[in-house]
Amino acid sequence: MNTVETTLPFRNGDATVKRATSMFVLVESPGLTILWDSKTRLYITLMPQFVNRVRGLCGTFDFIQSNDYESRDGDISDFTFANSYKVRGECSDVGEEQFQPCMINSQNADYAKSKCEFLLSPAFKRCHRIVDPEMYYDMCEYDVCGCSNADDCLCSAIASYAKECSRNEVIIDWRFEDPVKNICAPKCEGSQIYSECSSPCAITCSELSSDQECTKTECIAGCNCPGNTVLDDSGNCVPPSECTCTYMGKVYSATQQIERSCQTCTCNGGQWDCLGEMCEQKTICPGNKVYSEFVSPCPLTCENVDNYQDCGASTFPGCTCPEDTALDMQTDSCVKPDQCPCRHNGKRYEAGAIIDKDCNVW
């Protein structure tokens, strides 16, 4: 996120980013849904509040089809349009001749034709009258001819048609059919299984508590845990009742109990069920920490103070540093960010210490 590596699920204000299946990352924010296969397929769904406010490579969102290839400068031409949205200046512009990949790479043309014809085969018959495959066949040939990894592009091209079919409620299990099964059959980890129509709701133990309002019915292809099982932190598919819980970075198994803030808490379905009265914060927090109902498992510390991002993981009640202070992990105390010690060659230097090398004091 913004060049900082982070783990999923990630929350930032209204936006969430999570893994929907082994194949797709799902980004959700009010009025906007993005599904991305981490490669070449990106599905963006915008609600009407974005009409007349969004334009780019997917067109100008105004219900007028004729302006969808409009470049930044208002020209309407497919390659001028594509070049105008280039984000890296060092990439060379595309020209008209590059729009004929099967002419340029004629050695790929036969392969593309033989594999893409799968789209017109009986395997997809149920979908043919709902979604015309011709355009998808053309795009498939185009991609397979022009791609450096023809097989990757073949699977993506067929998956694009299958996705449009599943959007129209025709689910086709095509990945295990000839002639693509040796190329496109997915390998799922552990006991996960592949489905053309997986639900993106609560697929991991950690999402059980936050995903209760999930009402998505859209089919998303990929590997997920079968039936009512969910993925636990070790990558196993388990019933929700066997999900583990974490507290202060430690993992506890289902039904295990801990004492926390004078309460007895039991790990139940990946969440803590707590009984009893909570005690006063000042009696329980060590040093200069304070009690909070919403402690982040990835707090601001002296190590990350320069590029801190909240990881968005679920919070828990406990002790944390007061606002505007950072945790000094070595002394387990809270300090003003400018009082954080520096590190150089593995040695610790208190704030204000001077060494020859410039110390990154804030």
Closest by CA to 182, choosing from 143, 154, 163, is: 154
* Segment interacting with Ca ion, rule: CB under 5 A, options 63-71, 181-189, 293-301, 306-314: 63-71
Shortest Cβ 127–Ca ion spacing (Å): 27
Closest by CA to 217, choosing from 199, 202, 203, 194, is: 199
> Which one, 62 or 132, has the nearer CB to Ca ion?
62
**Window 105-144: contact mask with Ca ion (x via CB under 5 A):** ----------------------------------------
The whole-angstrom separation of Cα 278 and Cα 263 is: 6
Neighbour tally for 246: CB within 10 Å: 18
Measured at CB, which residue is nearest to Ca ion? Answer: 60
Torsion of CA 287, 293, 297, 301, to 10 degrees: -40
- When binding is defined by CB under 5 A, the residue of 34, 68, 121, 188 that contacts Ca ion is 68
> Which one, 82 or 258, has the nearer CB to Ca ion?
82
| Residue 64 in contact with Ca ion, rule: CB under 5 A | yes
> Which one, 59 or 299, has the nearer CB to Ca ion?
59
**Window 293-322: contact mask with Ca ion (x via CB under 5 A):** ------------------------------
Shortest Cβ 44–Ca ion spacing (Å): 14
Number of chain positions touching Ca ion (CB under 5 A): 6
| CB contact at 8 A, 115 and 142 | no
> Which one, 60 or 105, has the nearer CB to Ca ion?
60
> Which one, 70 or 232, has the nearer CB to Ca ion?
70
Shortest Cβ 63–Ca ion spacing (Å): 7
| Residue 60 in contact with Ca ion, rule: CB under 5 A | yes
The whole-angstrom separation of Cα 161 and Cα 6 is: 32
The whole-angstrom separation of Cα 173 and Cα 171 is: 7
Helix (H, G, I), strand (E, B) or coil at 184: helix
**CA angle 172-175-181, nearest 5°?**
140
Q: Is 235 exposed, middle or buried (0-12, 13-18, 19+ CB in 10 A)?
A: exposed
Longest dimension (CA), the chain: 77
> Which one, 69 or 308, has the nearer CB to Ca ion?
69
Backbone φ and ψ of 229, nearest 5°: -90, 160
The whole-angstrom separation of Cα 131 and Cα 139 is: 14
* Segment interacting with Ca ion, rule: CB under 5 A, options 59-67, 212-220, 228-236, 354-362: 59-67
**Window 262-291: contact mask with Ca ion (x via CB under 5 A):** ------------------------------
Shortest Cβ 211–Ca ion spacing (Å): 34
* Segment interacting with Ca ion, rule: CB under 5 A, options 58-66, 76-84, 231-239, 279-287: 58-66
> Which one, 60 or 191, has the nearer CB to Ca ion?
60
Q: Is 307 exposed, middle or buried (0-12, 13-18, 19+ CB in 10 A)?
A: exposed
* Segment interacting with Ca ion, rule: CB under 5 A, options 15-23, 53-61, 291-299, 304-312: 53-61
Residue ranges that bind Ca ion, judged by CB under 5 A: 59-60, 62, 64, 67-68
